[in-house]
Amino acid sequence: MAVFRLSVIGALLTAILLVAGCQRSEPVSESGAAPKPYPSAPITMTAGAGPGSGFDLTIRAVVEALQTEHLVDVPLTVANRPGRSGADQLATMVEQHAGTDDQISVTSLSMMMNQIRGVSPYGYRDVTIIARLMTEYFVVVTDPAAPFANLGDVMTAVKTRPGDLAVGAAKDDEAPFDLLVSAALRAGHIPVAIGGLSEFVDEIRAGKLRVLAVLAENPVPGVDAPTAREQGLDVTLSNWRGLYGPPGMPEQAVAYWQKVLGEMVRTPTWKRIADQRQFITAFLTGDELGTFLGETQADVTKAFEEASR
């Protein structure tokens, strides 16, 4: 837990027909051999963080939904590779797996932040972003016994004793983050924490953590807490999560995953998991995804520059 102190057409048509599972004779290549179907071997699904992190929860939710709904016929192996909020796994994808089709990783806003802050030389343009799956709002939580009834109380403490208030902040390479935070809060080590809702939801439902505020435009169903905006602080912040492949990932593989994932987010299994984890499904691919990524990168860069002044 980080603790800080507040101070091209043919090929494409072939790929689409393959992933759609059309019952037709397979085309024959110049060598006379039918093209190899995809996927035909196990796929490694990696979270660039430890068990219990937002990355881990996301990749395991995807694998569970794909397998339960029988959308993928090959084994999907989940791996955890913690390190610098996904930066280490990103480097591995860029430097060791370029051009392959058997590696999928989860990413989020942290990929952009890592590059902007100089933690990683790589960003979303260096890999193959396959799809955005969801968005998730951040929440401010506290131990129910702590002397904070609302976000205003926390802000008062910040003003009156700015060097004394310790705040736990989510990092995707902490594992398991939600348990660590709740333990630290109950032990009195930190009075307040902020992180993705999915990382805290079990502790919140069990009454072990209390939500002081959700950083959303409007109240979030299932979260018994006002927004920061409703408490006089016009702050909203959400984290997107999605899947990416290595640079130069074959178009056939990209088309396959975009189709399958688009089916997945409409299944009962995914909807159940999303409800349990408080994921807000926001599936996006193609040009719209590219626009979203570009705009988000620009917004985050601007915010970071302003905060650094």
Task: Quick: pLDDT tens for 252-276.
Answer: 999 999 999 999 999 999 999 998 8
136-156 b/e with 16+ CB inside 10 Å = b? Answer: bbbbbbbbeebebebbeebbe
96 CB-contact burial (10 Å; exposed 0-12 / middle 13-18 / buried 19+): exposed
Question: DSSP H helical segments within 162-250, as ranges?
Answer: 177-186, 197-205
Using CA atoms, how far apart are residues 225 and 215, in angstroms rounded to an integer? Answer: 10
| Total number of residues shown for the chain | 309
Token look-up 């088309």 returns: 255
Question: What pLDDT, on a 0 to 100 scale, did the predictor assign at position 3?
Answer: 42
**Helix, strand, coil % over all residues of the chain, rounded to 5:** 40, 20, 40
Q: Phi/psi of residue 207, each to 5°?
A: 80, 10
Report residues of the chain scoring pLDDT below 70: 1-35, 162, 169-183, 185-189, 307-309
Mode of pairing for the β-strands spanning 128-142 and 192-196: antiparallel
CATH number for the domain running over 39-134+239-307: 3.40.190.150
Count the helices and strands in the chain (H runs, E runs): 10, 10
Residues forming beta bridges with residue 194, ordered by sequence position: 140, 169
Using CA atoms, how far apart are residues 110 and 112, in angstroms rounded to an integer? Answer: 5
Positions of CATH 3.40.190.10 in the chain: 137-231
Question: What pLDDT, on a 0 to 100 scale, did the predictor assign at position 60?
Answer: 96
User: In the numeric block, which tokens belong to residue 260?
Assistant: 């399958």
Question: What pLDDT, on a 0 to 100 scale, did the predictor assign at position 173?
Answer: 42
Using CA atoms, how far apart are residues 50 and 109, in angstroms rounded to an integer? Answer: 17
Amino acid at 77: T
Q: Which CATH class is domain 137-231?
A: alpha beta
| pTM exceeds cut of 0.75 | no
User: In the numeric block, which tokens belong to residue 302?
Assistant: 């601007």
Positions of CATH 3.40.190.150 in the chain: 39-134+239-307
Question: What pLDDT, on a 0 to 100 scale, did the predictor assign at position 197?
Answer: 82
E strand segments, the chain = 2-5, 43-47, 76-80, 103-108, 128-142, 166-169, 192-196, 210-214, 238-245, 280-284
Using CA atoms, how far apart are residues 293 and 298, in angstroms rounded to an integer? Answer: 9
